[in-house]
């Protein structure tokens, strides 16, 4: 039992004893205090607003005097607890949440050197569709100096800490690569396994270092794997052949600067149109560029997957339920 609960139980027990003593000492002299329950009620009223009934007996007045002292003690506990809370919050860098009660939020699992940049992108003013964000990290102090992002102290590989951080109701889980770990990929894989074992429906995005470890994440059911080794290798090769390509990709994946990729549901008025027709209308009517379409497909075994088709061609017709990847300066609101 926590310390504050022990104090609460102690005070309640003391009040019950005092109410019984008060009843037996006052029952012949004070007809209002005609039961232990009335005596207990009088004690509660006294502690909250002061005397309404004056005890008649010496024992009753002794109890009343004791209650005055107890009132000062309770007041001292309140102010001491409040001051301790302020000091703890100041020392910890901000508010530390013990239990998250959010739904449909984004959970960032772990704190790395890249986490501040991830949070900056997630809260960019270019993003119109906002979700609440919670960070779960095994740190003594809250590294965030902002109130719009929740922080939970805990280990992202532990089920109990993930549950406290709201993984059961989260929309997305982001697992950044901790390069300071002895084995960054192993840490990311363990976290992903813990997340997927608790909530298979959460959309999990994992940062990985070595391509050969991707198979472990795919077996775990991870939705998105960003392999830094493969991306950097491919990008440096293509950038050497197509000069400026790295700067182009940097702009397209960075908010608050230039244009970025956005994913939106195909508006009903574009359903049934071919890809080139939709591309032309989107440029003329909305000022955005259609780059790719995502569509749910079902294979022969009955398993479904989301296929992304980049510039699919003249014969590709948009269907209801498709998603479009467009390039725009900010998240477009197209209906």
Average of per-residue pLDDT values in the chain: 82
Q: Within a domain: residue 167?
A: yes
End-to-end CA distance of the chain: 55
Identify each DSSP E strand in the chain by its residue range.
Answer: 106-109, 133-137, 149-153, 172-175, 203-208, 224-227, 260-265, 289-298, 304-310, 323-328
The Cα–Cα gap between 228 and 191 comes to 18
Residue 291: closest CA among 306, 304, 273, 278: 278
Decide: helix, strand or coil at residue 63: helix
Q: Within a domain: residue 246?
A: no
Q: Which tens digits make up the pLDDT trace of 265-278?
A: 999 999 999 999 99
Tell me: do 207 and 143 sit in the same domain: yes
Tell me: do 284 and 198 sit in the same domain: no
- Tell me which residue range forms the domain holding 306: 259-335
Q: Within a domain: residue 252?
A: no
Query: What would the two tokens of residue 209 be?
Result: 């270092």
User: Cβ(143)–Cβ(153) under 8 Å?
Assistant: no
Domain-ending residue, one of 212, 231, 250: 231
Q: How confident is the model at residue 180 (pLDDT cuts 50, 70, 90)?
A: confident
CATH of the domain at 330: 3.30.70.1450
The Cα–Cα gap between 218 and 305 comes to 13
Tell me: do 204 and 126 sit in the same domain: yes
Tell me: do 128 and 11 sit in the same domain: no
The Cα–Cα gap between 164 and 144 comes to 18
Tell me: do 114 and 160 sit in the same domain: yes
Q: Within a domain: residue 237?
A: no
Tell me: do 80 and 112 sit in the same domain: no
Q: What's the number of domains the chain is made of?
A: 3
pLDDT average, residue stretch 168-185: 92
Is residue 1 scored above 50 in pLDDT? Answer: no
Domain-ending residue, one of 52, 69, 92: 92
The rounded percent of the chain whose pLDDT value lies above 70 is 75
CATH of the domain at 162: 3.40.50.720
Query: What would the two tokens of residue 7 be?
Result: 């104090």
User: Cβ(169)–Cβ(143) under 8 Å?
Assistant: no
pLDDT average, residue stretch 238-255: 86
Tell me: do 111 and 217 sit in the same domain: yes
Most confident of the following: 63-67, 176-180, 186-190, 298-302 = 186-190
CATH of the domain at 42: 1.10.287.70
Residue 94: closest CA among 165, 62, 142: 142
């Amino acid at each position: 039992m926590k310390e504050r609960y022990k104090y609460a139980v102690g005070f309640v027990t003391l009040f019950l004893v005092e109410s019984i003593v008060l009843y037996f000492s006052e029952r012949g002299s004070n007809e209002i205090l005609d039961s232990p329950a009335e005596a207990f009620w009088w004690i509660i009223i006294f502690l909250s607003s002061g005397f309404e009934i004056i005890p008649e007996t010496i024992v009753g007045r002794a109890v009343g005097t004791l209650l005055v002292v107890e009132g000062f003690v309770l007041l001292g506990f309140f102010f001491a607890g409040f001051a301790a809370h302020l000091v703890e919050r100041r020392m910890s860098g901000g508010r530390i949440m013990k239990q998250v009660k959010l739904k449909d939020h984004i959970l960032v699992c772990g704190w790395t050197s890249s986490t501040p940049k991830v949070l900056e992108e997630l809260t960019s003013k270019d993003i119109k569709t906002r979700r609440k964000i919670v960070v779960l990290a095994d740190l003594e102090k809250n590294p965030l100096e902002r109130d719009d992002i929740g922080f939970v102290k805990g280990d992202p590989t532990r089920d109990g800490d993930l549950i406290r951080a709201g993984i059961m109701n989260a929309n997305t889980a982001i697992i950044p690569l901790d390069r300071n770990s002895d084995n960054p990929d192993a840490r990311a894989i363990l976290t992903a396994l813990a997340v997927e074992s608790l909530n298979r429906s959460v959309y999990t995005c994992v940062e990985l270092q070595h391509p050969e470890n991707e198979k472990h994440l795919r077996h775990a059911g991870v939705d998105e794997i960003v392999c830094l080794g493969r991306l950097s290798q491919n990008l440096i090769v293509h950038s050497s052949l197509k000069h400026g390509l790295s700067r182009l990709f940097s702009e397209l994946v960075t908010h608050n600067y230039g244009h970025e990729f956005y994913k939106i549901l195909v508006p009903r008025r574009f359903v049934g149109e071919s890809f080139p027709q939709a591309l032309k209308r989107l440029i003329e009517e909305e000022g955005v560029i259609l780059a790719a379409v995502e569509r749910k497909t079902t294979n022969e075994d009955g398993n479904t997957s989301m296929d992304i088709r980049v510039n699919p061609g003249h014969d590709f017709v948009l269907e209801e339920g498709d998603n479009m990847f467009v390039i725009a300066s900010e998240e477009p609101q197209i209906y």
